[in-house]
Amino acid sequence: MAKFGFRSTAEQVTEGVDASGLTAIVTGGTSGIGAETVRVLALRGAHVFLLGRNLKAASQVQEDIVKSIPHAKVKVLEGDLSSLASVRKCASEFLALNLPLNILVNNAGVMACPFTPSKDGIELQFATNHVGHFLLTNLLLDKLKRTAQKSGIEGRIVNVSSKGHNFFAPKKGIGFESMNSEADYSRWKAYGKSKLANILHANELSRRLQFQEEGANVTANSLHPGVINTNLLRHYPQYVPILALASYVGNFIGLKTVPQGAATQCYLALNPHLKGVSGKYFSDCNESKPSKYATDPDLGKSLWDLSIRLTSTSDESHRG
């Protein structure tokens, strides 16, 4: 088995993998590491659905990929992760296609934005980074399980988190009591708790798949992609020249290129050596240790219960 690390690219960690016959959904695939993940999964033969809220940008990515990879099978799904209605519509449209689903990469996200309530009244970072992905995953979970059962091929759910969960999440881990309080809002703490939620979600989902639904051949893992100069920095344009300079003079602050930043999620989505690995957190394509809160099962269960309530408990959203 090849050893991968900080400098590995998404193409390198999936080299030799034949993903033909697999179907994947990648959220936030209109730019940055999301677009690179769509490209590399398509390069390896997967039928990839690019989920994005900007149809024009999504269509442009689709066009660019097909132009450079003639055999690529890329389709666009319109969906806004910050809107529960949009997530439900998007999931319904995909399920109506009656296609298999092998891989779900929950990649979309916003970072350190000013306090903004979503259409559902949930703080925007928590809504987009966690709640929307929680609902999408639950709505597609039966499809992932059925596909794995029929095909005999392991289904994979990949949550893109961040080491920011270590530095920015509040001392209580999530801070449920001040979830939507503008008075207590800190853009970086809100980002940290949403990224902590990504890990807790993957861990709790993995536990449920393993112990409550014996035989469900689906794994769930989370990851830190690295520090990358992408659209996530749109609220901090002043940092872009600094990061660009850092990249030019030798990457002294650990800045990754986009192909390097997409490596770990592509590794988790496709690499055969990870068969059966679930409920783990990765960085630089290697298992890593998250914060103590990220491995707290009680916090994970509390977050799950809150997420069910926030997504308006229904038969389809409670199947996880």
List residues with catalytic annotation.
Answer: 185
CA distance 285 to 266: 9
> Between vectors from CA 115 to CA 113 and to CA 120, what angle results, nearest 5°?
105
Helical axes 84-96 vs 132-151, angle rounded to 10°: 20
The residues facing 287 across adjacent strands are 282
Of residues 153, 127, 145, 119, the one with CA closest to residue 46:
153
Separation CA 27–CA 220 (nearest Å): 16
User: For the chain, first and last CA: distance in Å?
Assistant: 33
Q: Is 49 exposed, middle or buried (0-12, 13-18, 19+ CB in 10 A)?
A: buried
What is the SS3 assignment for 166? helix
Q: Distance (Å, rounded) from C-alpha 147 to C-alpha 100?
A: 5
Q: Determine contact, residues 194/125, Cβ cutoff 8 Å.
A: yes
